[in-house]
Amino acid sequence: MNTRKGMFTQVWIVICLCLPLGNIFANEHSLASSNEPLTQAQLADVQALYTQPATTEALSALAQQLNLQLDTRGQFIQQRHLQVLKKPLLSQGQFIFSPTQGLVWQQLRPFSTLMVLKDQQLIQQNSQGKVQQLNAMASGSPIAQQVPRLLQAIMAGNIAALSADFTLFMPANYNAGTPWQLGLQAKDPQLRASMGNITLSGDTLLRSLIITSSQADISDYTQIQFLDAQQGPLSTTELELFSLGSESNQ
Amino acid sequence: MLRLSLNAVLSPIGRFALWGVLLLAMIVTGFVQWQQGAHIQTDILAMLPHLQQDKLTEKALNKVEQQLANQVYIAVIAPNETQAIGAAKQLMTSLNQSNQSPFTAVRSGADDNLQHLAKVYFEHRFGLLTPEQAQAIETDNWRQLLTAAQSQLYSTFGFANSQLLSNDPLLMFPANLLALSPNNALRSQQGILLTDSADGVAAIVMAKGRDSAFSPNAQQQQIQALESALSHINQQYSQVSFLKAGALFHAIAATESAKQEISRIGLISMLGIILLVWLAFRSVMPLFAALLTLTSGVVFALVATLSLFGELHLLTLVFGTSLIGVAIDYSFHFYCEKQAHPNDNASDTLRRIFPALTLALATSASAFIAIGFTPFPGMQQVAVFCAAGLIGAYLTLLLVFPLLGNHALKPTPGLTLAQGYLTLLKRIFTAPQWWQKITIAALLLCLTAILFFGLSKADANDDIRQLQQSPAAITTEENKLRQLLSGGTDNQFILVSSNNEQGLLQTLEQLTPVLNQAIGDGELDQAISLSRFMPSIASQRHNYELQQQLYQQHLHEIISNMGLDDNINTSLLRQLEQAKSKYLTPKEVLALANDDLRALWLGAVATTEQTQQYGAIVLLGGIHSLASIEQRLTRHDWSLGQVQLIDKVGDISALMGQYRQLTLQLLVWVFALACLLFSIKYGIKLALAIVSVPALSVLLTLACLGLVGSSISLFHALALILVLGIGIDYSLFFAEAKHTSRGVMMAIFMSACSTLLAFGLLALSQTHAIHFFGLTLLFGISFSFLLAPFISFITRKTV
């Protein structure tokens, strides 16, 4: 019974990054082959991280090292490994993160969807181009309303904001200036059960995000890699993406 | 006869001793009552009438009241979540640890049962479908569900995981569970309910007072516990502010304002009356005697009320201060008479005024008793309080004054002034100079105009909500909190019943689309029904058959399209088979449900000895048009049960309206009866004149109320009865005084002044019921006083 607990609470999360009604063929995974699944050793590493609470010194060193205050864009590749699936699910696309504007998450394969996260608004466009606006306040699930905010804090690497909602973990042997790993575990038990452990890693930028179950006996995991990240002011086309929701309002 | 025999048996000293014994007995009785738990009641609802209801409605009302009563809601507003959560946790701890634990059920968003409940629903997932899902399967559009599930698979923080997929490959269960969670802007973190507010993050803490918020003791304990908790939090979190709501704060405001009004209005009355007595008699003794009359009146009133009711409503006490005005009249009559006949001793004076005094007591007491026949516990108390107080004052006059009232009175200009006023009136209104005639005609015209315009503007408003109005600060704070909690629920609710459990559940299911339509049409903001939580067996069976059909025909396709492991097939079909005919029952849900949900379920209620009814409550929030909701409900044909809109506030208001009309009718009958009685003694002409004084006063009062825009309520009508009683007194005194009216004029002047000082000051009250009462008397007594002297002109002509 205990192993099911995660599942029951999981459903309270609303479909934040869920992209409704696309034409998907789950078997069609024609993506770049550079993405190997995590090895057992890597997964064990990730699990081990959650026994090492982050020290204040390490966190402040990390905060100095991170350079996430600028607008950043790049590619992402997501792999979802669910035990019950015959094959892992691969998807890829591009993202734009701006501390002032918010987050654009544009999936291009296997089908295209667009998600824009701005203030407390979550705007989605599915593969048929239909725009749907989910006001975080009206989206129904109590937890769903927090996810946009948490995502923004995660993408910004805003350690002060993160430590309000999460218990933070870092390897004991972290040296300032070297690649880093940061483990996030939600303080709220329901949220913890549904979000799992979120492991961020990078150097001056965020390079990958791994979500594992907070329970040892569930081997499902999701890995997102951020590639070709570039920093610099937003172009006009990029800014237009952020105005997806306001267009639909008119 | 009684007085004569008393006179024969008792000397003045003997009478005084008798009075002493009576008063002592009263004080002892009162003390014993107090020891036995008599208390002061401040709940305005306690003075409202009881409604006749069937057992199911009664139980429903009790449940709703129990749920809502004594709840205290606090929003802890902080600049960020961490502070909000920390402060809210501290608040909950300190409320739980308060001295004498005045609060129970201190809680926030933590709902541990939710997970257990989710587990139960998961076991019954084959009997659950949202309307959209059911429709998709029924219309053979189940592939919609498949595409939605497929895209859900890719969602990073979505709910697809291995366990869920193997038990529910189309991911249909989450939507069903989501449908249960109320649609509001609250979120829960670390067991604390949070919401965003304009000033930051608000954490919501709720607590239930252990005892009634209207009991002064509990009130003090609760507010002290709360205030000390809040100030401790502010020591640690200086940026945190609070919003509070709940009956407690209204009750405290009511207690405070009533206390202030008793002391302020009481003090002004007292000072005014002291000044009046001093100016009239220039002697300390009448003042002392008047105060003695008053005090013993109040003692009698308090003890009688406590003995009969076991409690004293605070409103009674405020109304009761008006007793001063009437009780003190008795000693005025005594002293005015004594001043007019300086050679009489006290017993002679008493003998002289005894008939008028007894008549006055009888009329006032009957007026109060008439008020007592209304079905209002509060008004019955007022009646008993005032009647007992008057009897106390009357007895004091009879028993104490023969001993204390022999003090000689200096002549004062009072009598001369009274005589001067009467002469002036007479000169103006009886000497038929042409300019006087014009003045009189103009005055009459003016009067007619006031009557016409005023009466045409007069309207009625029986809404009891206008009776209790708390200070704006409290209501504003409450509205802010209500907004944070996204609406809350109203006083009106829907009672659904049926003679069997399944019939009830099915009726609840039929009600849902009707209410959704009402919400869609803007008549309502939200409805909270058990229907979502307790599907009927019929709908569970239907959902099961749909899923059975879907999986038997298409499971292979689903599994291959979702890219799932093939061995899911057999395990899922086995689970489906095992779930057959295992229906979710209300009992199962209630065992795990929280109090808010359980309060909506009435279950089986024995309505008569043989029959029982199953009932459930549907709470409504943000009602914009009660009438159209009611129309919807009555228009619909409920085949399996009954659906009633329960509106206690509306029902009581309607009852108040009925009694208002009844009281006004009673008024007309009393006028007719008085005419009849007086014409036997005075002849028809004078009888009509006597009655016309209070009748015209009542009409003018109604007109003035119309002009100032005060809608007539029962409290206005009750005050009109007093206007009638007092007005008749005034004109009777003038009619009785055949030779000289100056004594009467002075007594009536003093009586009217003291009544206005006491009753009229009630118009200043913040409590609407008291304000209405006072305002009506202010107008009524003023007009009676102005009109009564004209009786003497008629008596001079006729006699």
SS3 A29: coil
Give the one of B159, B191, B565 whose C-beta lies nearest to A11's C-beta: B159
One-letter amino acid of B505: L
Does the beta-carbon distance from A187 to B563 stay under 8 Å? no
What distance in Å separates the CA atoms of residue A10 and residue A18, rounded to the nearest whole number? Answer: 13
What whole-number percentage of chain B has pLDDT above 70? 89
Give the one of B115, B144, B189 whose C-beta lies nearest to A8's C-beta: B115
Q: Are residues B442 and B341 in the same domain?
A: no
Query: Do strands B71-78 and B241-246 pair parallel, antiparallel, or not at all (unpaired)?
Result: antiparallel
Whether B274 is covered by a domain: the verdict is no
Residue B675 has pLDDT above 50, yes or no: yes
Does the beta-carbon distance from A22 to B564 stay under 8 Å? no
Does the beta-carbon distance from A19 to B155 stay under 8 Å? yes
Q: Is A225 on the interface with B (CB under 8 A)?
A: no
The b-or-e profile of B412-444 (16+ CB within 10 A means b, else e) is bebbebbbeebeebbeeeeeeeeeeeeeeeeee
Confidence of residue B651 (pLDDT cuts 50, 70, 90): confident
What the block records as the tokens of B623 is: 């009602």
Q: Is B160 on the interface with A (CB under 8 A)?
A: yes
Please, what CATH class does the domain formed by A9-14+38-249 belong to? mainly beta
Q: Are residues B345 and B447 in the same domain?
A: no
Q: Torsions phi, psi of B498, nearest 5?
A: -160, 165
Does the beta-carbon distance from A224 to B177 stay under 8 Å? no
Does the beta-carbon distance from A12 to B565 stay under 8 Å? no
d(CA B170, nearest CA chain A) in Å: 13
Chain A residues lying within 8 Å of B564, measured CB to CB: 84-86
Q: Write the DSSP symbol of residue B460.
A: B
Does the beta-carbon distance from B162 to A220 stay under 8 Å? yes
What distance in Å separates the CA atoms of residue B508 and residue B495, rounded to the nearest whole number? Answer: 10
| Average pLDDT score over residue span B595-604 | 84
Write out B184-226 in H/E/C secondary structure. CCCEEECCEEEEEECCEEEEEEEEEECCCCCCHHHHHHHHHHH
Q: Is A104 on the interface with B (CB under 8 A)?
A: no
Residue of B nearest to A126 (CA): B151
| Backbone Cα Rg of chain A | 18
Q: Which helix (H) or strand (E) holds B452?
A: helix B434-457
pLDDT of residue A216: 64
Name the region of B70 (left: φ>0; alpha: ψ -120 to 50; beta: rest).
left
pLDDT of residue B780: 92
Confidence of residue B580 (pLDDT cuts 50, 70, 90): confident
Name the region of B465 (left: φ>0; alpha: ψ -120 to 50; beta: rest).
alpha
Least confident segment among A82-91, A185-194, B427-436: B427-436
Q: Are residues B376 and B446 in the same domain?
A: no
Helices B626-635 and B501-520: crossing angle, nearest 10°?
130
Q: Is B112 on the interface with A (CB under 8 A)?
A: no
Helices B537-562 and B501-520: crossing angle, nearest 10°?
70
What distance in Å separates the CA atoms of residue B78 and residue B166, rounded to the nearest whole number? Answer: 43
Q: What is the rounded end-to-end Cα distance, in angstroms, of chain B? A: 30
Residue of B nearest to A12 (CA): B178
Q: Is A47 on the interface with B (CB under 8 A)?
A: no
Query: Looking at B622-668, which runs of residues are DSSP E strands?
Result: 642-646
Whether B78 is covered by a domain: the verdict is no
d(CA B194, nearest CA chain A) in Å: 9
Whether B52 is covered by a domain: the verdict is no
Does the beta-carbon distance from B196 to A137 stay under 8 Å? yes
A vs B: CB pairs below 8 A: 162
SS3 A250: coil
d(CA B63, nearest CA chain A) in Å: 28
Nearest partner of B242 among B99, B101, B72, B110, judged by Cα: B72
Query: Looking at chain A, which runs of residues are DSSP E strands?
Result: 72-81, 89-98, 102-109, 113-118, 121-125, 131-135, 166-169, 180-186, 197-202, 206-212, 221-231
> How do residues B252-304 score in pLDDT, each as one tens digit?
887 787 778 777 877 887 788 788 878 877 777 888 888 888 888 888 888 88
What distance in Å separates the CA atoms of residue A200 and residue A210, rounded to the nearest whole number? Answer: 7
Burial tier of B783 (Cβ tally within 10 Å: 0-12, 13-18, 19+): buried
Long-range contacts of B173-177 (CB under 8 A, 24+ apart): B173/A11, B173/B121, B173/B122, B173/B125, B173/B128, B174/A11, B175/B130, B175/B132, B175/B133, B176/B121, B176/B125, B176/B128, B176/B129, B176/B130, B176/B133, B177/A11, B177/A12, B177/B118, B177/B121
d(CA A3, nearest CA chain B) in Å: 9
Which spans in B579-647 are helix H?
586-592, 595-598, 626-635
Which is higher by pLDDT, A35 or B631?
A: B631
Does the beta-carbon distance from A6 to B161 stay under 8 Å? yes
Q: Torsions phi, psi of A51, nearest 5?
A: -105, 0
What the block records as the tokens of A115 is: 């998600």
Q: Is B144 on the interface with A (CB under 8 A)?
A: yes
Does the beta-carbon distance from A224 to B155 stay under 8 Å? no
Give the one of A8, A89, A142 whose C-beta lies nearest to B122's C-beta: A8
**Is the bond leading into B355 cis (omega within 30 degrees of zero)?**
no
Whether B567 is covered by a domain: the verdict is no
Does the beta-carbon distance from B564 to A89 stay under 8 Å? no
Does the beta-carbon distance from B563 to A89 stay under 8 Å? yes
Q: Is A85 on the interface with B (CB under 8 A)?
A: yes
Confidence of residue A214 (pLDDT cuts 50, 70, 90): confident
Q: Write the DSSP symbol of residue B532.
A: G
Does the beta-carbon distance from B177 to A12 stay under 8 Å? yes
What the block records as the tokens of A103 is: 């987050």
Residue of A nearest to B558 (CA): A26
Whether B682 is covered by a domain: the verdict is yes
pLDDT of residue A1: 35
Chain A residues lying within 8 Å of B109, measured CB to CB: 142
Residue-range definition of the domain harbouring residue B289: 1-37+282-411
SS3 B52: coil
Give the one of B147, B177, B188 whose C-beta lies nearest to A11's C-beta: B177
d(CA A48, nearest CA chain B) in Å: 22
Q: Write the DSSP symbol of residue B531.
A: G
Does the beta-carbon distance from B153 to A14 stay under 8 Å? no
What distance in Å separates the CA atoms of residue B490 and residue B513, rounded to the nearest whole number? Answer: 20
Q: Is B188 on the interface with A (CB under 8 A)?
A: yes
Chain B residues lying within 8 Å of A21, measured CB to CB: 144, 147-148, 151
> How do residues B696-738 score in pLDDT, each as one tens digit?
999 999 999 988 888 888 888 878 887 887 788 788 777 776 5
What distance in Å separates the CA atoms of residue A6 and residue A216, rounded to the nearest whole number? Answer: 11
Does the beta-carbon distance from B185 to A137 stay under 8 Å? yes
Selected residues 122-181 of chain A with any CB under 8 Å from a CB in chain B: 126, 137-138, 140-143, 145-147, 151, 164-165
CA-CA-CA-CA torsion sign (A126, A131, A133, A139)? negative
d(CA A244, nearest CA chain B) in Å: 20
Chain B residues lying within 8 Å of A14, measured CB to CB: 178
Nearest partner of B361 among B390, B382, B336, judged by Cα: B390
Task: Say if residues A115 and A34 touch (Cβ distance below 8 Å).
Answer: no
What the block records as the tokens of B626 is: 């009660």
What the block records as the tokens of B490 is: 């109203």
Q: Is A8 on the interface with B (CB under 8 A)?
A: yes
B449: domain CATH number?
1.20.1640.10
Chain B residues lying within 8 Å of A217, measured CB to CB: none
What whole-number percentage of chain B has pLDDT above 90? 14
Confidence of residue B502 (pLDDT cuts 50, 70, 90): very high
Contacts of A213 (CB under 8 A, 6+ apart): A6, A196, A197, A219, A220, A221, B161
Q: Is this complex's ipTM strictly greater than 0.85?
A: no
| Domain count of the fold of chain B | 2
Q: Is B270 on the interface with A (CB under 8 A)?
A: no
One-letter amino acid of A92: Q
Question: Other CB atoms closer than 10 Å to residue B52's CB: what's the count?
Answer: 9
What distance in Å separates the CA atoms of residue A112 and residue A129, rounded to the nearest whole number? Answer: 9
- Report which listed range, A12-26, B433-447, B563-577, is most confident: B563-577
Chain B residues lying within 8 Å of A16, measured CB to CB: 155-158
What distance in Å separates the CA atoms of residue B308 and residue B432, rounded to the nearest whole number? Answer: 58
Q: Are residues B446 and B376 in the same domain?
A: no
What distance in Å separates the CA atoms of residue B756 and residue B762, rounded to the nearest whole number? Answer: 9
Give the one of A4, A14, A147 whose C-beta lies nearest to B163's C-beta: A4
- Report which listed range, A126-130, B219-223, B277-281, B615-619, is most confident: B615-619
Q: Are residues B352 and B454 in the same domain?
A: no
Q: Write the DSSP symbol of residue B238.
A: T
SS3 A134: strand
Query: Do strands A121-125 and B311-313 pair parallel, antiparallel, or not at all (unpaired)?
Result: unpaired
d(CA B84, nearest CA chain A) in Å: 11
Cα–Cα–Cα angle for B211, B216, B221, nearest 5°? 65
In the Cβ-directed half-sphere of B441, how many Cα atoms lie within 13 Å? 7
Query: Do strands A131-135 and A121-125 pair parallel, antiparallel, or not at all (unpaired)?
Result: antiparallel
Q: Is B186 on the interface with A (CB under 8 A)?
A: yes
Selected residues 47-106 of chain B with any CB under 8 Å from a CB in chain A: 80-82
pLDDT of residue B574: 92
Q: Are residues B656 and B681 in the same domain?
A: yes
Which spans in B606-647 are helix H?
626-635
Does the beta-carbon distance from B181 to A4 stay under 8 Å? no
What distance in Å separates the CA atoms of residue A196 and residue A192, rounded to the nearest whole number? Answer: 5
Question: Which of B125, B163, B204 to probe the A interface (max A CBs under 10 A)?
Answer: B163
Does the beta-carbon distance from A189 to B189 stay under 8 Å? no
What distance in Å separates the CA atoms of residue B307 and residue B635, rounded to the nearest whole number? Answer: 50
Residue A61 has pLDDT above 50, yes or no: yes
Q: Is B557 on the interface with A (CB under 8 A)?
A: no
Task: Say if residues B175 and B133 touch (Cβ distance below 8 Å).
Answer: yes
Task: Say if residues B495 and B644 touch (Cβ distance below 8 Å).
Answer: yes
Least confident segment among B190-199, B242-251, B313-322: B313-322
Chain B residues lying within 8 Å of A15, measured CB to CB: 152, 155, 158-159
Residues forming a β-bridge with B601? B616
> How do residues B309-354 score in pLDDT, each as one tens digit?
888 877 677 666 666 566 777 787 788 777 777 777 778 878 877 8
Q: Is B459 on the interface with A (CB under 8 A)?
A: no
Confidence of residue B508 (pLDDT cuts 50, 70, 90): very high
